[in-house]
Amino acid sequence: MTETASPNDDGSLSVLTVDLGAIAANYALLVKESAPAECAAVVKADAYGLGLEPVARTLERAGCRTFFVATLDEGLALRNIVNHDIYVFAGVVQHNAELLASNSLRPVLNDLEQLRLWRKHTNAPAAVHIDTGMNRLGFPPIEVDMLRSDPTELDNFTPKLLVSHLACADEPTHAMNAEQLERFRTAQTIFPNVPASLSASSGVFLGPEWHFEMVRPGFALYGGNPQPTGANPMQTVARLKAKILQCRAISSGESVGYGATFRADTPRRIATISTGYADGFLRALSNKATAYIGENPAPLVGRVSMDLIGIDITGIDGVKAGDWVDLLGPNYGVDALARDAGTIGYEILTALGQRHRRVYLEADA
């Protein structure tokens, strides 16, 4: 791997390293797992917080030719990076149809109102989203029935893709998966010969019958575990390091941080780290997370504050101000961090703030 910069070549107090080679490897694994279906890539929310431009260019070089984003603004930003198919999950709303069409952005139409609005402005390609049970976005069952009973609603319309979204794909035996699959297949009869896409990251690993013509992973590309009940097949992508600002000794009975939520039961050594909830290190991690100094675990003590956290370095020799601490990486990955925060890895990645200096590791040619 080629590193564009080292974590200690300037005055940075925290460094987020993004391994683009790992993203390319993860994409290759997902391509292999989903073949012969096309493997698209979801790069919404600034590529899950890791940087839209470097991630999209990496995926393009890896062979990706279809991308998904959440909003028009994201689509416009991505259009300046790649010249491939871009789908916008939010669909079309008043006043943005012409902007979508003129930039060759394909809305994912979520109801009859959006379909009619799109048809009114253009016959450019778009996708149709069928709600198969998630009750979030997509044509509800009553509108699916309307399309079936009145095919003229689809006149002068070019559907390029039929999509739905699985609610429980990360639980392979959940009954909801089979229910949604059956509903999706039923909806397909309204759109003969239109390519279909049902599976995101976890759905890729449910098996071939879930793949249809396209899969569209997101989280797995960035190192998240698409099958939480088993070992993670994806490579680690994100690593967060932060600098120790100060080390101190505290006596038995002394506390650390706001609210005095941690109180030492024996004399301890505490290191204060330059990262907090403003940097995406969630307050929910207070007294729960684990940092690493080399291979040595150092538990977080006290509350996470806006800019600072404290870790217990008792028994770890030679630790001093200016040393680097791993907060996210191979020893303590995004899913482990999320578990300790009581959330999901998606939130961890997308919450990473802008104060971290970013280093991108390119795959060697």
| Catalytically annotated residues | 44, 258
Give the other-Cβ count within 10 Å of 113's Cβ: 14
Scanning the structure block, which residue is given the tokens 């739905």? 164
Nearest to 348 by CA among 321, 331, 362, 329: 329
Rg of the chain, C-alpha, whole Å = 23
For helices 141-149 and 112-121, angle between their N-to-C axes, nearest 10 degrees: 50
Residues in CB range of 158: below 8 A, 6 or more apart: 123, 124, 125, 126
Q: Is the peptide bond before 107 cis (omega within 30 degrees of 0)?
A: no
